[in-house]
Amino acid sequence: DDERQIVLRLFVRLNERVQHHLTGDYQIGHSYFMTPAIGTGAGRQRVWQRAVRPLLAEYFQHHRDSESTLDEFEPDRLLSGPDVPGDTASDAR
């Protein structure tokens, strides 16, 4: 159950951050987070490196300082950062 909450929080915060930088048109779909491996730290990292980060890199390829922007989206930073206003994952706690 704790792992589910972590995945939910990551998914919500990721999309809130994307929406902050871009628009809601660039949301990351839930299917990236539906793999059984996502429930472990290593599994999340693998999904992130192989699927989510490349998609984010494409979204931000024309942004100035895109590497720095991508760093804001690392799972550890998303999960440990302050609550984002409207963060439904933290509101549900």
Q: Which token pair is 69? A: 């922007």
Indicate if the pLDDT at residue 90 is higher than 50.
Answer: no
Is 18 within 8 Å of 84 (Cβ atoms)?
Answer: no
Average pLDDT of 80-90? 58
Closest C-alpha among 21, 7, 87, 4 to residue 56: 21
Average pLDDT of 37-56? 91
Q: pTM of the predicted model, to two decimals? A: 0.80
Q: Which amino acid is at 9?
A: R
What distance in Å separates the CA atoms of residue 77 and residue 68, rounded to the nearest whole number? 12
